[in-house]
Structure 1
Amino acid sequence: MNAEELLGNLHEGGDNKPREKKSPLISLEKDLSFYAESIKEVAVEIMVEGISSYPIFIAHQHEVNIGELILNRADLNTDWTIQASTLEEFVQKGIIHPDKKEHFLKSYKKPENYMCVFVVVPEGANFVYFPYKLS
């Protein structure tokens, strides 16, 4: 599976010119704080139901073809949509190569304390761990 299939069409406008804009991570932090209780409930449900011990949440502002929609930015008047997935789906879809699974597991933080978020932006995607409660 290639990036376009996974991420859908992320490029708006075809000029490929760099755009000056503030970091999307500022609004992501705000939304994750707002969503934290709901995301934790889904993470616990994924683990308790035996679906996976490794829930992963996808944060995006475009269309992605992985996971199940749990929090829609259009419905909630926020900047980011959140979808729920698992390590197993990430391996199945080829986002995490099977050879890199052990490396990923070593860096995976306790899902009781942190949400594992795969952040998708037009420039690419990366994993971040966001604590459920900021001190």
Structure 2
Amino acid sequence: MDREELLNATPEDSGVPQKQQSPLVSLEKDLEFYADAIKEVAIEIMVEGISAHPIFIAHQHEVSIGEIILNKEELNTDWTIQASTLEEFVEKGIINKEKYEPFLKVYKKPENFMCVFVIVPEGANFIYYPYKTKG
């Protein structure tokens, strides 16, 4: 049985295909849970002058960019979050130098949104997740 068949396997007895739950459902739950801590780190990155463009990496395996700030093993969650910066993404070649300016144009205000680079087995992509406004 290959990986694809395992992912789409359904219980034989029901005869009804089970809807595959997207890993993004658990990511959203974790981002909500982590939001205050992530915002704190984002502000720290900006205040300390490290970068005006913090990027957080959400993954379930191991990645070699950024520093772990929230470990899924320690926190009993589904996703580990690492903190990085736009500059590190360019330096490591994840964002091409030619894409730097276009990326800045779509980069949302880090005071209101966390920029998350989500890594899943199928690939990786940027999402912007809003911080909850208190009040």
Q: State the TM bucket, normalised to the shorter chain.
A: 0.7 to 0.9
Q: Tell me, yes or no, if structure 1 residue 17 matches structure 2 residue 15.
A: no
* C-alpha distance in 2 between matches for 1:78 and 1:69: 14
Unaligned regions of 5+ residues in structure 1, if any?
Answer: 1-13
TM-score by length of 1: 0.86
Q: TM-score, normalised by structure 2?
A: 0.86
Within a 5 Å distance, the mapping from 1:44-59 to structure 2 comes to 44-59=43-58
SS of equivalent residue, structure 1 residue 17: helix
Letter in 1 for 2:4: K
**Alignment pair present for 1:110 and 2:109:** yes
Measure the CA separation in 1 of the matches of 2:121 and 2:106: 25
Counting only pairs closer than 5 Å after superposition, residues 20-31 of structure 1 correspond to structure 2 as 20=8, 21-31=20-30
Alpha-carbon distance between aligned partners in 2 of 1:89 and 1:15, rounded to the nearest angstrom? 36
Q: Take 2:109 and 2:72, find their aligned partners in 1: how far apart are those partners?
A: 26
Question: Displacement, 1:134?
Answer: 6.7
Task: Report the identity percentage.
Answer: 73
Give the distance between the partners of 1:128 and 1:23, measured in 2 at CA.
15
Distance 1:131 1:114 in 2: 4
Distance 1:119 1:134 in 2: 23
> Per chain length, whose mean CA-contact separation is higher, i.e. which structure has more relative contact order (CA < 8 Å, sep 6+)?
1
Q: Could you tell me how far apart the structure 1 residues matched to 2:101 and 2:71 are?
A: 32
Deviations 1:15-46 (A, max 9, x none): 44352231001000000000000000000000
Q: Distance in 1 between matches of 2:51 and 2:133?
A: 25
Q: How far, CA to CA, are the matches of 2:133 and 2:23 in structure 1?
A: 19
Number of paired residues? 122
Q: Any gaps of 5 or more consecutive residues in structure 2?
A: 9-19
Greater Rg, structure 1 or structure 2? 2
State the partner residue of 2:94: 95
In structure 2, what is the Cα distance between the partners aligned to 1:74 and 1:134?
28
Letter of the 1:96 partner, please give it: I
